[in-house]
């Protein structure tokens, strides 16, 4: 496994994969052009040869060192998909970001200086609190509770009051606020919409309003974050929001579940298949029924809910079951993560149960395109602990021990890095990608979409942790799942 050789700070993010939506970098960044590292909205990277091992190379991009990792002795079980020509591979490589491209917040137009008078002095107490990726856009929440966004904006999902895409370097990342300048404490992105949770326990939504998924009572697009009425949740505080492709589930302080948006596959678990433009309570979860929900995760057409007793219930088309009500899936769970058409359940610090679509080997199950039973997958070695999981349609990212990146699946648009052989190569088992030096008090996390990943250091941990106590050195960090 390769180790990071460049000095990074907690205000450094790492990008990998495709940048075609310009959600990371702009179209006209002159420093990138001067260094010859920019083409068609994405960094240029050489296509690695399967037969040769290419040694680490270092170049300077917009403002940081980029590391091209060594693929020596990776031992990957690789099989290229049919119909991928060499020219297509090279084109994909030119569109891809080099492996783990580090970029500092200040290089993205984010001012983290102490004040105007001390603009040359950086406030090192500021760090990235949360990153959430949509299909072609990105939100970043800072520890001082500022929110910035960038990328595709066809439906107004950037929350800027217009539908102009933010992809020019002169714009950089732009600030996003909600009414009365409430403090935003959490962000969850769907494919083309987003939800915000504030310190005063209010919820705001923005973006594509199709299927009623913005909980505004209609199907209209929303360009400015709009408050969702608390009366829709019987005035109970919402503690957790999970976004799917076109649906949303909410979990309140009493462990009750509400859902809105698309429901054509029964993914809201409401015992019917009618789309909901206002949240409806799923009576299956309640203290009275001894099923208290603490976390949820959404795929495109299914929803999985974790209870305080460690039970997993799933509704919708999970490729294993297809119901419009929640059915029991597993017990003794400590986490659940939905990809577009698959489900990953964490049982222990190393053991997973997986099911659903495995066409791209995103479940790390060889020789199967679909896993109908919950197969057991062990990650890492005996001493390792899974501290973060991020899923997408084609790949899965596992972070071990807060600093080691592993992955499996298909390297679409080099989303797993240019060191994983060629474009569209499939890794049918979990392999190490990169190891960073650990940072005391911080945990490395990842947010993914179909063709890109963002890695960042944070001190934040999920609300779910207060419901479970493990025999770990500390509690497990649960990933944010974005479906796109």
* pLDDT for residue 330: 93
Q: Give per-residue pLDDT as tens, 126-145.
A: 889 999 999 989 999 999 99
Residue 17 structure tokens: 């994969």
CA torsion 235→237→241→246, rounded to 10°? 0
Handedness of CA 373, 361, 21, 186 (dihedral sign): positive
Q: What is the pLDDT of residue 11?
A: 73
Q: What is the dihedral of CA 272, 273, 274, 275, to 10 degrees?
A: 130
306: which residues sit within 8 A by CB, 6+ positions away? Answer: 293, 294, 295, 296, 312, 333, 335, 336, 464
At 38 the pLDDT is 32
- pLDDT for 118 equals 58
In 318-342, which positions are buried (b, 16+ CB within 10 angstroms) versus exposed (e)?
bbbeebbebeebbeebbbbbbbbbb
Q: What is the pLDDT of residue 450?
A: 86
Q: Which two tokens stand for residue 463?
A: 């609300």
Q: Is the pTM of this model over 0.75?
A: yes
121-467 is classed CATH 2.130.10.30: yes
Give the SS3 label for residue 297. Answer: strand
pLDDT at res. 8: 60
Tell me whether strands 322-330 and 342-346 are parallel, antiparallel or unpaired.
unpaired
Show the tokens assigned to 480. Answer: 């944010």
Task: Assess contact for 247 and 303: CB atoms under 8 A.
Answer: yes
**Which regions of the chain are under pLDDT 70?**
1-9, 18-99, 114-122, 168-171, 418-421, 461-484
- DSSP class of 359: T
Which tens digit of pLDDT belongs to each residue from 393-428?
A: 999 999 999 999 999 999 888 888 766 667 788 889
Sheet holding 257-261, edge to edge: 238-243, 247-252, 257-261, 276-282
Cα–chain center distance at 421: 24
Sign (positive or negative) of CA dihedral 43, 44, 47, 48: negative
Residues facing 453 on adjacent strands: 16, 448
């Amino acid at each position: 496994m390769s180790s990071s050789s460049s000095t990074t700070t907690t205000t450094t993010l790492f990008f990998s994969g495709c940048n075609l939506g310009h959600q990371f970098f702009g179209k006209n960044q002159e420093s990138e052009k001067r260094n010859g590292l920019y083409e068609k909205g994405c960094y240029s990277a050489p296509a690695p040869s399967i037969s040769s091992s290419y040694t680490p190379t270092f170049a300077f991009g917009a403002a940081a060192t980029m590391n091209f990792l060594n693929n020596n002795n990776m031992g990957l079980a690789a099989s290229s998909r049919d119909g991928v020509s060499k020219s297509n591979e090279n084109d994909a490589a030119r569109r891809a970001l080099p492996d783990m491209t580090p970029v500092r917040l200040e290089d993205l137009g984010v001012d983290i200086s102490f004040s105007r008078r001390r603009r040359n002095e950086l406030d090192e107490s500021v760090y990235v609190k949360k990153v959430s990726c949509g299909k072609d856009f990105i939100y970043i929440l800072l520890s001082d509770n500022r929110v910035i966004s960038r990328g595709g904006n066809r439906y107004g999902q950037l929350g800027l009051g217009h539908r102009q895409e933010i992809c020019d370097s002169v714009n950089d990342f732009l600030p996003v606020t909600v009414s009365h300048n409430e403090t935003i404490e959490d962000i969850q992105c769907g494919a083309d919409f987003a939800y915000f949770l504030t310190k005063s326990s209010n919820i705001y939504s923005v973006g594509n309003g199709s299927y009623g998924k913005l909980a505004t009572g209609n199907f209209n697009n929303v360009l400015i974050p709009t408050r969702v009425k608390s009366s829709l949740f019987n005035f109970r505080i919402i503690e957790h929001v999970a976004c799917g492709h076109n649906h949303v589930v909410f979990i309140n302080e009493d462990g009750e579940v509400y859902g809105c948006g698309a429901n054509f596959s029964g993914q809201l678990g409401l015992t019917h298949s009618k789309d909901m433009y206002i949240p409806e309570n799923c009576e299956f979860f309640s203290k009275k029924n001894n099923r208290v929900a603490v976390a949820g995760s959404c795929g495109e057409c299914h929803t999985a809910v974790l209870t305080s007793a460690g039970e997993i219930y799933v509704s919708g088309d999970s490729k294993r079951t297809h119901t419009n009500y929640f059915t029991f899936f597993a017990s003794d769970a400590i986490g659940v993560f939905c990809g577009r058409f698959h489900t990953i359940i964490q049982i222990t610090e190393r053991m997973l149960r997986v099911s659903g679509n495995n066409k791209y080997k995103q479940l790390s199950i060889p020789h199967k395109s679909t896993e109908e039973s919950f197969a057991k997958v062990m990650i890492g070695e005996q001493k390792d602990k899974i501290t973060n999981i991020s899923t997408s349609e084609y790949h899965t990212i596992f972070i071990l021990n807060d600093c080691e990146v592993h992955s499996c699946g298909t390297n679409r648009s080099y989303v797993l890095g240019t060191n994983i052989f060629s474009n569209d190569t499939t890794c049918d088992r979990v392999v190490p990608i990169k190891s960073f030096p650990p940072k005391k008090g911080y945990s490395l996390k990842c947010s993914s979409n179909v063709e890109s990943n963002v890695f960042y250091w944070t001190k934040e941990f999920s609300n779910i942790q207060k419901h479970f106590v493990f025999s770990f050195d500390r509690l497990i960090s649960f990933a944010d799942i974005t479906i796109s």
